[in-house]
Amino acid sequence: MVTSILAVVLVLGGLIFFHELGHFVVARRLGMGVSVFSLGFGTRLFGVTRGKTDYRVCAFPLGGYVQLVGESPDAELPEGFTQEESFSRRPPWQRMLVVLAGPAFNFLLAWLIFWGLAYSQGVQEMLPVIGQVTNASAAQEAGLVPGDRIVEIDGQPIAVWDDLVSRIEANTGAAMQVTVARGREIVSLAVTPRLQEKRNLFGEIKVVPMMGIAPSGELSSRELSFLAAAVQGGRQIKEVSTLMVMGIVKLVERVIPWTDMGGVILISEMIHKEAQNGLVNLLALTALISINLGILNLLPIPVLDGGHILFFFLETITGRPLSPKVQQAALRIGMTLLLMLMIVATFNDILRHFR
């Protein structure tokens, strides 16, 4: 239990620390003043002052913040800081970079984790071995049987199951010449995929070409070089980010029910579970949460980083900042929306235990 609590604190605290580190690094590189870099909220437990910045650890660890000097034009500057270090006096593009750096560092952290895991663990790939053939399907009528390993389709080599899926989904109704390894034999069969209804990851029914086969689940591990692992890490970032963005869109479209949305309780439970399954699983989950944190912070909702970026972008276009009244109204709306989402997510997390 202690290990799980420690894992939750380290993962969530570490992700927030890295997010705030992005803001801090870019602000300092641009010469802006930072009065406080805090890991946690609430009462200051301990810390150290270096230069003009107070680096502190506070009582409530699941959070953190970077306090920039002069965040608003009328803000008083802390002792020792000059007007030139004021955040609000900088051009919009510089302020935009500082805000964007937080989510960017979340993606950077996820990439470093995926890179390290790919280099140390290799890549697990599903082999194109048939585990099940559906009755009266195109595959059964063509003569495919469980245990067949698909080697080629129309002369194109099939190395992993994803290659097979891509070839089938690209089919336009023509017969496919499928070459399989069956024991010590090589067998060539003609298979014409049929259009069938299939539920996708988000529960939507799509009509796609299908053979009527399922994988056996056999995996192979492929080692990667240091640079190849970096590329693989970037590929995973792209795939996961695409799925998460699509998930948000489907949530808004009500394809995914709001009852499926989870919050901090669900995330903590997932961390608790993966902490028991080993460091590799915990690191992989940390990368996923980091990407999720980066994407959510980029949403154009006032209060979030994406909302501030929108404000600075509009200032760049119009040549002047939005009026304080408009900004305050937008921030109130954004805060209300954010609180409502947090309440719904927490409510779902609690109800999930009774379903």
CA 145 to chain centre: 38
Are 194 and 266 in the same domain? no
Q: 20, 141, 152, 274: which one is catalytic?
A: 20
69-94 confidence digits (pLDDT tens): 998 888 888 888 989 999 999 999 99
Residue 218 a catalytic site member: no
Are 188 and 254 in the same domain? no
CATH assignment at residue 209: 2.30.42.10
What mean pLDDT do residues 252-267 have? 84
What mean pLDDT do residues 321-334 have? 89
What mean pLDDT do residues 126-153 have? 92
Q: What is the overall mean pLDDT for the chain? A: 90
pLDDT confidence bin for 99, thresholds 50/70/90 = very high
Domain span at residue 157 reads 125-221
Are 114 and 249 in the same domain? yes
pLDDT exceeds cutoff 80 at 137: yes
Are 116 and 238 in the same domain? yes
Outline where DSSP puts E strands in the chain: 34-50, 53-68, 123-126, 130-133, 149-153, 156-157, 176-182, 185-191, 194-199, 205-210, 213-215, 219-222
- The verdict on residue 179 lying in a domain is yes
pLDDT on residue 74 = 82
What mean pLDDT do residues 38-63 have? 87
CB 90 within 8 A of CB 32: yes
**Domain boundary residue, one of 159, 192, 221:** 221
pLDDT exceeds cutoff 80 at 4: no
pLDDT exceeds cutoff 90 at 348: no
Are 7 and 138 in the same domain? no
Are 276 and 343 in the same domain? yes
pLDDT confidence bin for 153, thresholds 50/70/90 = very high
- φ, ψ of residue 155 to 5 degrees: the values are 80, -5
CB 259 within 8 A of CB 348: yes
**Domain boundary residue, one of 163, 195, 221:** 221
Are 129 and 251 in the same domain? no
pLDDT exceeds cutoff 80 at 140: yes
Are 130 and 115 in the same domain? no
CB 291 within 8 A of CB 15: no
- The verdict on residue 57 lying in a domain is no
pLDDT on residue 263 = 85
Name the domain count of the chain.
2
- The verdict on residue 259 lying in a domain is yes
pLDDT exceeds cutoff 90 at 199: no
Q: Residue 178 is encoded by which pair of tokens? A: 């499928």
pLDDT on residue 355 = 67
Are 99 and 167 in the same domain? no
Are 101 and 250 in the same domain? yes
pLDDT on residue 7 = 85
pLDDT confidence bin for 1, thresholds 50/70/90 = low
Are 244 and 314 in the same domain? yes
Are 242 and 305 in the same domain? yes
pLDDT on residue 6 = 83
pLDDT on residue 216 = 92
Q: Which of 164-173, 284-293, 336-345 has the highest mean pLDDT?
A: 284-293
**Domain boundary residue, one of 199, 221, 243:** 221
- The verdict on residue 227 lying in a domain is no
- The verdict on residue 156 lying in a domain is yes
